[in-house]
């Protein structure tokens, strides 16, 4: 397999350093070969989906083996550099193939969910089970409990038999019926488990750390010469996966977050010189804070990790808030959890079980500094602080995300049954495509401080481009 898959063990801290963060703006040029999807071998088995494919008329959404979805649709700029259209970087479209690699009657499938909770996890599980069972006739689908721990014998977790009947109603609940966990697990032990259980396909649902772990599992599979497909459904509530339009659960998350902004705005307006402060998810990417603030248009200030800010001075955040309170009688601040980390002191280098850098808590710090500043200025205030993060993570998916997760799960099954591996499914400019795992974790999607989204936030809030 590719050298890109040769990484440390599953979930190790080395995998989660900041080296994958690249400067914001237009990504570097991509070699078309980097977009090739690995396969287990030629497809010789007629797919159960073939009659459905044969009945379709050719449209712009027709999927043929040679079709590609352009990675960069700025065609004029690319061709001006002398690159022929047929050599532009393109992604494989998702969809059923007429010939598949695995014999459905003899295929055994595993599903695992890892990392933090996100709206739509149960929808993905249910969608995978239904597509495997109803459309391909796969007879055994099992779920591994509590993330990658579920493969390790020392934990003693049993597996869950998954059928269309057992997953029928799980989408009405938040969380994941399989449970989840973070942290390092030995990829060799995981592959040992897959071999013992004769698993042919493993669907991995999780974020960038999980996908790096899946790449390590795939590396061991390749070293042993096994024919096991590893297909990922990327999950991140922060919407920080590169290249894809949006991650599942994001729409639900910012919709719920906007309700917290509404609540804190009511509180702020109900008292003289009231201040409302909401801390939302967003370790390194401020998409939830931006979208939630735009959805409500009540925020006076939005703080995100991508835009550093200064507290002190006439051009600082504190003076700006004081002026807003004096002008309007109240003010509302929305802060992503990763904002302002450069202002906080504490031990550096601390990491959680997944190897992610531990953030210092910006919410209480801002609450204290804002209250102190207004008191020193002789402004009597009432400050309300809300951190709805865990409440947002645990809700069921809204209708938009429910549809999105079903389509992602269908796309993942089609890819896996055709023998594709070491890849994830996602949507790029409204087309569902196959993306190599190495590419999906190559960098982090972030809000561009010079882009149209941040400009829309600045127009909505009236805040300056930068404080200080």
State the residue for tokens 């709805």: 388
Please tell me which residue, 270 or 90, carries the higher pLDDT value.
270
For residues 19 and 136, membership in a common domain is answered with: yes
Q: pLDDT tens across 19-42, in order?
A: 344 444 445 567 778 888 899 999
- For residue 264, the domain's CATH number is 3.40.50.460
Model confidence pLDDT, tens digit, residues 242-285: 888 899 999 999 999 999 999 999 999 999 999 999 999 999 99
Say which range, 55-69, 334-348, 423-437, has the weakest mean pLDDT. Answer: 55-69
Q: 350 pLDDT band (50/70/90 cuts)?
A: low
Measured distance CA(108)–CA(190) in Å, rounded = 16
What pLDDT, in 10s, does the model give residues 160-180? 999 999 999 999 999 999 999
* Sign of the CA dihedral with 342 first, then 343, 345, and 350 last: negative
- 289 and 347 housed in the same domain: yes
Q: Provide the domain limits for residue 21.
A: 3-247+397-440
Higher pLDDT: 23 or 217? It is 217
Evaluate if residue 17 carries a pLDDT over 70. Answer: no
Same domain, 237 and 274: no
C-alpha to C-alpha distance for 14 and 10, rounded to whole angstroms? 10
pTM above 0.85, yes or no: no
Residue 445 lies in a domain: no
Region of 134 on the Ramachandran plot (φ > 0 left; ψ -120 to 50 alpha; else beta): alpha
Q: Burial code of 213-243, b = ≥16 C-beta within 10 A, e = fewer?
A: bbbbbbbbbbeeeeebbbbbbbbbbbbbbbb
| Average pLDDT for the chain | 87
Tell me, yes or no, whether 277 lies in a domain.
Answer: yes
12 shares its domain with 88:
yes
Q: Is residue 191 part of a domain?
A: yes
**392 closest CA partner among 293, 304, 301, 292:** 292
Q: Are 416 and 108 in contact (CB under 8 A)?
A: no
How many domains are contained in the chain? Answer: 2
The 10s digit of each residue's pLDDT in 409-437 is 999 999 999 999 999 999 988 889 999 99
Pair type for strands 38-39 and 420-421: antiparallel
pLDDT band at 12 (very low <50, low <70, confident <90, very high): very low
Verify that 350 and 222 share a domain, yes or no. no
Question: Which residues carry out catalysis?
Answer: 238
């Amino acid at each position: 397999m590719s050298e890109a898959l040769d990484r440390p063990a599953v979930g190790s801290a080395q995998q989660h350093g900041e080296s994958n963060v690249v400067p914001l703006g237009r990504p570097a040029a991509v070699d078309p070969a980097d977009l090739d999807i690995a396969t287990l071998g030629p497809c010789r088995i007629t797919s159960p989906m073939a009659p459905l494919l044969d009945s379709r008329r050719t449209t712009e959404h027709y999927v043929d083996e040679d079709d590609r979805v352009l990675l960069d649709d700025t065609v004029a700029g690319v061709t001006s550099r002398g690159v022929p259209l047929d050599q532009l970087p393109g992604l494989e479209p998702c969809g059923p193939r007429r010939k598949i690699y695995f014999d459905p009657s003899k295929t055994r499938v595993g599903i695992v969910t890892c990392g933090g909770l996100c709206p739509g996890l149960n929808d993905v599980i249910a969608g995978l089970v239904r597509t495997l069972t109803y459309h391909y006739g796969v007879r055994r689908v099992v779920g591994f409990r509590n993330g990658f721990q579920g493969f390790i014998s020392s934990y003693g977790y049993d597996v869950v038999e998954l059928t269309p009947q057992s997953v029928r109603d799980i989408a009405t609940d938040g969380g994941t019926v399989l449970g989840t966990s973070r942290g390092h697990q030995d990829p060799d032990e995981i592959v040992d488990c897959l071999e013992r259980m004769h698993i042919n396909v493993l669907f991995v649902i999780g974020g960038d750390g999980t996908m790096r772990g899946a790449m390590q599992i795939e590396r061991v599979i390749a070293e042993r010469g096994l024919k096991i497909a590893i297909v990922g459904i990327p999950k991140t509530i922060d919407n920080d996966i590169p290249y894809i339009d949006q991650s599942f659960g994001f729409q639900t998350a910012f919709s719920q977050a906007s309700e917290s902004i509404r609540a804190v705005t009511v509180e702020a307006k109900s008292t003289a010189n009231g201040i409302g402060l909401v801390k939302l998810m967003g370790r390194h990417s401020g998409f939830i804070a931006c979208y939630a603030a735009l959805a409500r248009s009540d925020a006076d200030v939005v703080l995100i990790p991508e835009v550093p800010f200064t507290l002190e001075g006439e051009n600082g955040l504190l003076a700006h808030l004081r002026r807003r309170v004096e002008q309007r009688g109240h003010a509302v601040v929305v802060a992503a959890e990763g904002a302002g980390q450069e202002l906080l002191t504490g031990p550096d280098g601390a990491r959680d079980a997944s190897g992610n850098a531990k953030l210092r808590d910006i919410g209480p710090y801002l609450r204290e500094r804002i209250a102190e500043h207004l008191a020193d200025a002789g402004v009597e205030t009432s400050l309300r602080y809300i951190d709805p993060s865990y409440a947002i993570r645990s809700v069921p998916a809204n209708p938009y995300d429910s549809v999105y997760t079903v389509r992602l799960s269908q796309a993942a099954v089609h890819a896996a049954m055709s023998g594709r591996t070491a890849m994830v499914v996602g949507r790029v400019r409204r087309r569902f495509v196959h993306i190599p795992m190495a590419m999906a974790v190559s960098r982090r999607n972030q809000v561009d401080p010079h882009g149209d989204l941040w400009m829309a936030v600045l127009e909505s809030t009236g805040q300056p481009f930068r404080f200080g």
